[in-house]
Structure formats: C-alpha cells, structure tokens
Structure 1
Amino acid sequence: MAKILFLTPYPTNSAPSQRFRFEQYFSFFKDENIDYDTLSFLDEATWKIFYQKGFLLKKTLGILKGLLNRHLLLLKIHQYDKIFIHREAAMVGPAYFEWIYSKLFKKEIIFDFDDAIWLKDVSNANQNLSWLKFPDKTKSIIAYSKTIIAGNTFLSNYAKQFNANVYVIPTTIDTNYHYPSKKTISDTIKIGWTGSSTTNKHLELISDVLEHITQTYSNVKIIMISNQPIISSKFKLKFVEWKQSSEIEDLSQIDIGIMPLPDNEWAKGKCGFKGLQYMALEIPTIMSPVGVNTEIIEDGKNGFLASNKNEWISKLSALIESKELREELGRNGRKTIEDNYSVNAHKDFLISLIKH
C-alpha cells in the first residue's frame, strides 16, 4: 500500500483550495490502496486569525510553529513513499524544505497549485509580513518535483518552463454535495457573489453595474457570501457570513451568480471556482472573460461572459427578465460541471498520478 504525505498550508477541511482540489478525493483512497497523512503549516488557532488584521504576535508564533513542525517531519519522512505539496511546503521563506525532501531524502514530490503563486500577492491583513514571502521559489519547487498538477492551462504553461511532467486537473466539484434544490417561487431576484476577505475587492469592480441594476429593478437584491463584508455606498447588499455547514443552502438562495475579475496576470491563474459552484447548483452564471473562465463558459449557452459595464448590465438584465433563460443556462451549466469539472470526471486520473 502506497503511503502519501499531504503537506498543506491550512488545516484539513478549512480552505476551499484544498477541499476542492484534493481533500474531497480522500474518501476514495482506501479502495485504491492509498494510505495518507496530512500535515498543515498553520494550526487551527493561527488559521482562524491569519487573514484578520492585527494579531502580529500570534501570527508570528504560528509561523514559527509551522517551521518547527516542518523540521520535525524530517525525523519520520522515511515512512512516506511520496510527498504531495499544495502550493508550498512552508508559507514563508525559499524552497528550503522542498530541496531537502527531494535532494537529501530522495522523496518523490507531487506538486499541486491553483493560483499564479509566482506573483507576489499579499492580503491587506498581512502586508507587514510580506517580506517573508518568496513567490519566486515556485519555479524551484516545480523543478524539484517529479509530477506537477496545475489547475488550468495558464498555470500549466508556466510550469512547463521548468518541468516537462505537467498535467492539468481543474478544481473540481462534488456534484452529489453541490446538488441543485428546488427554488421557492418569489418575485425577488437575488444576484449573488461568494468569496472571502482576500477577494472582496473583485465584487467592488462592478459596483457601478450593481448600482444601476438595483436602481432599475426594484425586485433585485444583492447577496454577498463571505467571511467579511464590504461597505458599499453605491448599492445595498445583504451580507451572509460564510459557514461550511450552510454553504450549499446559502448559495442555493441565489438566482444569478456573478464572478467579476480584473484582467491581470494574477486573475489569469484563477481556476473559476466561484463560477463552478454556481453552475453545479444550476444557478445561471456571469463571469469576466479572464483566464480559464473563457474555457468554462460558452457565452449564451451555459452561462454568460461580460467584459465591460454595458455587457454586465445587458446580460444581468436579460436574466432578471427571463425565468426561462435562467433555467436554460442553469441546466446547461450543471451539465458542463458533470461532464468536465466534477470529481467523477477527474477521480481516476488524479489517483493514477498519485499511485504511479
């Protein structure tokens, strides 16, 4: 039986990038003769405050604890056949641990990443710790690894500069968990967005659009699902605090899902996860035509792409005014997820990369 160690930034079952890239596959491992352990860099206490402003001492102690645990791992690393690293072994410093694992201990590394992490992107809450980030180490981690799993083609093309053994597996949806529910009949149309404090700024990109829509349609409400609200003077919104226990129920109240993005290099590395969630729940979706979004959405068939204010307004208006269009795009979106972005569609390939 193969034994794999998963090294992650965050505790198990806490961060979407981990949950939807590989943790949701753990339930299949026993039948595939794969034994595994997980070891996060941040512990639960540090994770809970890490993206909040302040708490500098607690964050520093949490980082030091993570570094200590990564060193202590060297005492038992011989137990594992392979090391699966999501994003980086340590959230600070150069590719020190990856070099030790691959060069000194001769361990085979599977490296998985789902963002353009070679670019510096530091949350507003942790600007004072930005000097500890070494985004340029990504190319070294890729070079040290045996197998690279990239979340989209843009990321894959970057990785292929440093390693030929690169495979694309998109962020996937468990279609049994993300299952559409029957909506309550209502005259109110809810336009919804989900994200976190690090991506709240993306919703603000279309604040003028949402102001226009809420002024034009009195029956439209804006729903924001996040761990932290934004304060908008241009439009009213209902803030729903994100909770894993109610995430599907909260998303299911949305009638139209939106995913605005800036057109920059960091955004091109995103894996379209918000849109995938909406589509899996048969929520008609509008996304910015940035990066992988143009591969996910066939404009007008399984969703809409909107690149400017006029397109956002016209496509939102079309969905607001037509229940039939919402239902049609919702059904087609769900079919896209089942065929191309579901756990079932990619399970066998991911397991084969881990085993072989």
Structure 2
Amino acid sequence: MKVLLVYESLETPSTTVRALQFRECFEQDAQIQATFIGRTSEAMNAVMKRWPWRPSLRRPATVAESAILRRRESKIVDLARRCDVVMMMTVPSWPLHQRLADLPNTRLITDLIDALWLPCFQSQGWQHIHQMLATSDTVICENEYTAGYVRDHCPNVSVVPDGPQLDVFDRHRDSVVAPQETCRIGWIGGKYTADALYRVFEPLESIFAQHPDVQLRLVGADPDRIPRFENVRYSVLPQYDQTTMVREVLAMDIGIFPMFNTAESLYRGTLKTKIYMSGQAAVIGQRLGENETLIQDGVNGLLAADDQQWCDALSRLIGDVPLRRQVAAAGLETMRRDFTRQRCYQRLRDAILDVQE
C-alpha cells in the first residue's frame, strides 16, 4: 500500500509528534510504502520570517509565497493520484483538501488535533473544518473526547494517541542531573498556551512563600504572557528545539499541567503529561479531560481540581522526596508500557489499513 503523508511545516510541533517520528517505522514496514511531503516550502518559510512586516514591503514576498503554495499543492495532488491513501496531518487548506477528496481512487484521512472548530482557530485557516471532517474517509484523533465530537461529522474515527518519543529521552537520561539543592517545578508549552499558568498563579504564590528552596522553570513561555509573579522565583526559556526540551524536562523534579475548565482544555490531549512522565518528573495535572484517564491519582501522578488541591499536591511532592521519586518512576513505567513509539505506530498503522477495507 502506498501512503502519502502531508504535513504543513517542519516547525509545526505536530509534524514530528504525529508523523515524522514514525518515518523509521514506516521504512521497516513491508506492507506500507510511505512518502512524506510538506505543503509549505521550508526555504520560503525562512524568507517570510526575515522579511519586513510593513505591508507595502511584504506584498512581493506574499505573492511569491502564494505562487509556491499553489505549485506545491498541485504536486501533492499529483503524488496522491498514485497512492492508495493520503493523510493530511493538520494542514489548514480547504482547497487542497477538496482536490484530494475528489480523487476517485485515493482514500483521504484527516488527522485532527485540538478543537480546531473553536473561534480561536478560525483565523488560522480552519474555517471549513466541519466540511473537511465530513468529506474525509477516516478521521484520526488523539483522544476519545475529540473522537466523540468528530463522530457527529464523520462516522469513521480512530484514536491514535500522541507518542512522547520516549527513546529520545532515554538517549539523554544519563547525562542530565537535576540540581540536588533545590526542587525544580517545570512547565513546558508554547507562547500561546502560557496563559494556562494563570490557573495556578495563586497556588504558586502561596507555595513559593512557604518553600525558599523551590524554583519554577518555564520552557516555551512568552515572558510577556505569564503572570506577574511576586513570590515565585522563576526563569524563562522562550524558545527551544527538541534536544533542549528533552534535557530541560529531565532536569525537572515536578511537571505541572494546569488548565482552565473550557472546551479547548477538554479536547486537548495529554502530550504534556506524557512528556513529563517520559522525563521522569512527577506530574501534577488538572483534573480534567484525558488527564483523568492517564493519571492514577497518587500513583503515577497527582490530580488537582481547585486552588486548594493544587497547593496540597505541590506541598506533598515538594516535602516528600521519596514519594516524588516513586510517582515519577511510576509515570515513566506507564510510558514504557503503553506509549512507546512502536505501540503508537501500531495504532496509526491499523487506522491506515482499516481505511482500505
């Protein structure tokens, strides 16, 4: 079977998590011949980053970028004609989706992450997400919450969990030593998700006032979007690559995953939790959504629903080092048992083969 996997850009985090990390698995699969292609040009993406933002100066680059996108989309359609399955890995192009859906002999799979139907995503090219779902032969989601929503638009839905790339953590595990004199609480995310830290603003202020030996490390946060901390001793690393991310997490004692009780949070997956567990950091996650399935409270992580529970969970792990290490070890064992690259690939492989039946 020939499969074409289309991603948006190499800089899109989901490109690696949902597609490229399985390249070697595909290469070793005698039944599937996989080809990867990006919709956007990486060279043009680099040019657009450096080009001035003033509209009169940016217009020529925008025209060139549009022409390149049209050519690349036509190339993708030509390649898809010769494939049995084409998979769109979070690609926000309704015109390209329509052209692929119209191919008579090629099945179309859409990989859906996040609640892309919410207003906050509409300006990013997802105005036609419901039409995309309805015209797909199969939709792949990262969790059952999203799958439940999608089934109202497409009857064929498969759940393929995010893989935390545990083997990458293992390559660096022995070379990173967490500081012994302090307890490092860590958060990892992106510039547009750092607002979640406001959910634990007050609990963190309270905890840091009581514990002088605690530090907060924010990886990926925009310094202009985080709370105006008063007692919290923190440092920020605004940008990171995969190696830096892995080494940062391996240096954390506790990993926090706060969320607000909103639809976006409910449909969000647990990759952040899995990353902490893979880095052997003891996890405290919001008692919401898929966290309640993945985290066994008090066993492989802790759950917190309100300010008091956040304070209690943080105090418990800060003050009880043996418990913290026990919880962290159980989290890592959960990843080794259920979320290795090969296990996640098998779920993806099954979804691809099923669409042909």
TM range (shorter): 0.7 to 0.9
Match of residue 86 from structure 1: 89
Match of residue 126 from structure 1: none
Matches of 2:110 and 2:336, distance apart in 1: 26
Contact kept, 8 Å, 1:87 with 1:117, in 2: the verdict is no
CA offset at residue 323 of structure 1? Answer: 0.7
CA shift in 2, pair 1:47/1:272, >3 Å: farther
* Residue type at the aligned position of 1:197: K
Matches within 5 A, 1:45-124: 57=58, 60-61=62-63, 62=65, 65-90=68-93, 95-122=94-121
Q: What secondary structure sits across from 2:119 in the alignment?
A: coil
Q: Which moved more, 1:162-171 or 1:217-226?
A: 162-171
Unaligned runs of 5+ in 1: 123-129
CA offset at residue 174 of structure 1? Answer: 2.5
- Given candidates 136, 145, 163, the residue that maps to 1:145 is 136
Matches of 1:321 and 1:20, distance apart in 2: 34
Matches within 5 A, 1:140-219: 140-179=131-170, 180-181=173-174, 183-184=177-178, 186-219=180-213
CA shift in 2, pair 1:194/1:28, >3 Å: same
CA shift in 2, pair 1:117/1:286, >3 Å: same
1:267-296 Cα shifts (integer Å, max 9, x gaps): 111111111100112210001112111111
* Residue type at the aligned position of 2:22: Y
TM-score normalised per structure 1 = 0.86
CA shift in 2, pair 1:31/1:243, >3 Å: closer
TM-score normalised per structure 2 = 0.86
Contact kept, 8 Å, 2:221 with 2:236, in 1: the verdict is no
- Given candidates 289, 312, 315, the residue that maps to 1:291 is 289
CA offset at residue 150 of structure 1? Answer: 0.9
Matches of 1:75 and 1:55, distance apart in 2: 36
Matches within 5 A, 1:267-282: 267-282=265-280
CA offset at residue 220 of structure 1? Answer: 0.4
CA offset at residue 184 of structure 1? Answer: 4.3
Contact kept, 8 Å, 2:3 with 2:85, in 1: the verdict is yes
CA offset at residue 197 of structure 1? Answer: 0.7
Instruction: Percent identity, please.
Output: 21
CA offset at residue 212 of structure 1? Answer: 1.6
Unaligned runs of 5+ in 2: none
Q: What secondary structure sits across from 1:173 in the alignment?
A: coil
Matches within 5 A, 1:122-137: 122=121, 131=123, 133-135=125-127, 137=128
1:321-348 Cα shifts (integer Å, max 9, x gaps): 0111111111111122222233232322
CA shift in 2, pair 1:350/1:153, >3 Å: same
Contact kept, 8 Å, 1:190 with 1:220, in 2: the verdict is yes
For the pair 1:351 / 2:354, whether they are aligned, the reply is no
Q: What secondary structure sits across from 2:81 in the alignment?
A: helix
RMSD: 2.6
CA shift in 2, pair 1:285/1:69, >3 Å: same
